[in-house]
Amino acid sequence: MKTIPEIYKMTEFDLKKTRNIGIIAHIDAGKTTTTERILYYTGKTYKIGEVDEGTAVMDWMEQEQERGITITSASTTCFWKDTRINVIDTPGHVDFTAEVERSLKILDGAVVVFCGVGGVEPQSETVWRQADRYKVPRIAFINKLDRVGSDFFSACKQMEEKLGANPLIVQIPIGQESEFKGLIDLVESKAYIYKDDLGKEIEEMPIPEDIKPLASKYRLKLIEKLAEADEITFEKFAHDVGIKPVELKNTIRHATLHNKVVPVFCGTSLKNKGVQKLIDGIVDYLPSPLDVPELNALNPETNEMEQRKASDDEYLCAMAFKIVADPYVGKLTFVRVYSGVIESGGTIYNTASKERERVAKIVQMHANKQNIVERLHAGDIAACVGLKNTKTGDALCDEKHPLILEKMHFPEPVIFMSIEPKTKMDQEKLSYTLHRLQEEDPTFKVSYNHETAQTIISGMGELHLDILMDRMRREFNVAVKAGKPHVAYKETISKGVKAEEKFVQQTGGRGQYGHVVFEIKPAERNSGIVFEDKIKGGAIPREFIPAIKEGVHQSAQTGVLAGYPVTDVEVKLVDGSFHEVDSSELAFKMAASLAFSEGLKKGHSLLLEPIMDTEILIPEEFLGEVIGDINSRRAQIKSIDQKTKIKVIRGNIPLAEMFGYATALRSLTKGRGTYTMEPSFYAEVPFDILEKIIGK
C-alpha cells in the first residue's frame, strides 16, 4: 500500500460543495455582465460593474475597458449559500478562442449564455463544440429577454437544431421584451416576480392563472424528457405517481452530469433578473470535482495509464493552463489541481521539461487582484509564482509518480504581419517582449524571414494582433512599426507523384551520400505533413530515418508556389540507398528536402486560403447594397434569415477579402450593421487571384 506524505493530508473545503465553472458564449451575449451579477449577488463585490462603462471587475485590462469586450479569461472565487464557486469569465471574440479552449480543458462545468434576440450565433457553435470535445456538462442561460425581438422558446429550438443539444426547459419567462418581469420555476412550480431595479426584492408566489396552461404544458415536457433519461422517473411517470421537486432536481443533476440534457434558465443580466436562480442552477446541476470522471493519464516511466482521484490523499497532479506576465511578480502560472496538494515554498516536477520547479508563492485570483494562500488542494484553481520553465499545458506532478496529460488543441494562425522596432533601444527589448507574449498565448507565433530580414508575427485576426501591438507599447514600453496584415496562405499538392533525389558531394576527403525515394500524395484537410517509413530490407539504415523526416518538415516550411508553408501532404519513404562511408544524417536530410521540393513541383501545387464563416446583421433596407458588396468579395451565401426588422446573412467569405470590412459595413449601413466571423476551412485559391499573389 502506498504511503502518502503528511503534507498531502490537509483539507480545507468540502469538494462536494465546490464548483469549477466557466461562462462561455458568442461575443456580446452578456457573459461578463452575467459574471458581474454573480459576483454582486454572492457578496464578492458591493457594487455592480458595467461593461459599457468600463467598470466591470472581470474586464480589468485597459484594452478591455476601452473596447467593451473581454480579451483574456479572468478567474475569481465566490460563495453561494454553503458552496464555493470558482468562476472563469471567457472572451467571446473568435480572435481569443484559445482562452476558451484552455479554460474548458480544466473546468468541470460551464454556463453557456445565449442572447434572447440572436439565439445560437456563430461563436455559440464554436464554444459548444469546444465543450463537446472535453465532455463538459453545461447549463444554458437565455439572456437579454427584456430586449425587443427576444424569444426564449425560439432560442431553445435553435439549441436543438443548430447545436444538436437536448435542452431541458426548467424555467419559462413571465412577460416578453419590455414586459418581462419574472420567471416560473417548473421544478418547484412557483412564480418569481422581480420588484426592484437591483433584483434583490423578489416575490415568490403561486403560478398566475393566466400562465398556468403554458406552465403545465412545459412541466409535462420536462418530466417526459427526464423519463427518457431516467428509469425511476419513467416508472413514476408511467404509473402517474407524483414526483417531488427534490426528486426532479436529483434526476436533472444526474442527467446533466452525464451530458444527456442541458437545463435552460432565463433572465436578463443587465436588468438584474434571473441571475440568483441561475446561481442556484450552478449549485444544483453542475458537477463538483468529485462528480467528474477520475483523471486518466499516461505514466511516462511505466508507459501505462494511471488514475488519480480528486483527493488530497493522492499523489500530486496539476495542469498549468495559462501563463500571464505580471508587472509586479513576474510570471504567473495558472494551475488546476486534479489531485494532491501544492505547498508554497515547495518543489514540484514538470513532466514536459523534466525539471523541478520551486513554487515561490501561491495566489488566489480575483480578476487581476491577488490573495496569497499557503497551499492548493485537489479541485483548486489558482496561480503560482516562480515557475520559470513551465508552459501552457504542462503537467505538474509528484517527481516519483509523473503523468503526461492530454494536450490542448489550439487553432493555427490565419493572419500575419511584419514588425520592426523604432529605435535601437526598442530592438533590445523586442525579443524579450515577443518571448513573453508567446509564452502567454499559444495562438501567437513569431518567426524571422531571413530573405527580407523581418520579424513576422502571426495570430488569429486583425483584432488579436492589434491588441498584442497595443500591449507591447503599454505594458512593455516597446515602440514598434507594423507592416500591413497578410493572409496566412498554405500550399498543398493536387495529385500523387513519385520523387527521387540523390545528394552526392565529393570533396577530396570523406564525401556525402544520401538517396531517397518518396511516394507523395494529397492527404486529408487539416492533417498537416504525414510522414511514413515504408523501408524494407535495410535499404536505408534506421539511424538516418529521423534525419529524412526532419528534411521533409524543413522543406515543407516554404512551398514552391509563393513560399507559404505546405500542408495536407502524405509522404511515404519507399526506397533509397546508402554508402558505407560517405552517408550521413546531413546527406539524407538534404536528399529528403530536395525530393520533397521536387515532388511539390511534379504534384501541381495549389495555394489554399482560409475561408471565414461569417454572420452579418443589418437593417433590412440595406440588404441589396450589402449583398452586392459581399458578392464582390467572393462570398458564398448560405442563408438570409429575418429576425424582427434585422436581416441575418450567413455565408463563407475568404479572409483575404475581409480586411477593413468593419469600415465598409459601417459606411454601407450608416453605422447600423455588425458582423462576426471565424475560421471555418481552407479552400483552393482561384487561378486569377493566385496569379496576383505569385506576382507579388
CB-side neighbour CA atoms (13 Å) of 359: 27
N- to C-terminal Cα separation, the chain? 69
CB 218 within 8 A of CB 156: no
Does residue 277 have a pLDDT over 90?
A: yes
- Tell me how many helices (H) and strands (E) the chain has: 16, 37
pLDDT band at 11 (very low <50, low <70, confident <90, very high): very low
Whole-angstrom Cα distance, residue 247 to residue 143? 27
Q: Please, what is the Cα angle at 398 between 389 and 6, to 5 degrees?
A: 130
Better-scored residue on pLDDT, 366 or 72:
366
Which pLDDT score is estimated for 52?
A: 52
Three cell numbers at 302? 511505466
Give the model's confidence band at 487: pLDDT under 50 very low, under 70 low, under 90 confident, else very high.
confident
Task: Give the model confidence (pLDDT) of 189-218 as tens digits.
Answer: 999 998 887 878 888 899 888 899 999 899
Q: Is the overall model pTM greater than 0.85, yes or no?
A: no
Give me the mean pLDDT over the 646-658 stretch.
Answer: 89
Integer CA distances (angstroms), 332 to 65, 300, 361, 363, 383, in order: 22, 27, 10, 9, 6
Q: pLDDT tens digits, residue range 440-453?
A: 888 888 887 766 66
The pLDDT score that the predictor gives to residue 440 is: 84
pLDDT interval class at 4 (50, 70, 90)? very low
Q: Which three cell numbers stand for residue 563?
A: 513560399
Q: How many whole angstroms separate alpha carbon 594 and alpha carbon 587?
A: 11
Closest by CA position to 15, among listed 278, 381, 327: 381
Number of C-beta neighbours around residue 167 at 10 A: 19
Tell me: pLDDT of 673 over 50: yes
Compute the 3-state secondary structure of the chain and give helix, strand, coil in percent, each to the nearest 5: 30, 35, 35
- Written as one string, the DSSP assignment of 484-546 is --EE--EEEESS-EEEEEEEEE--SSS-EEEEEEEEEEE--TT--EEEEE---TTSS-GGGHH
pLDDT at residue 242 greater than cutoff 70: no
Q: What pLDDT is stored for residue 367 in this prediction? A: 66
| pLDDT surpasses 80 at 82 | yes
Whole-number Å distance between alpha carbons of 413 and 567:
14
Task: Quote the cell numbers at residue 393.
Answer: 499545458
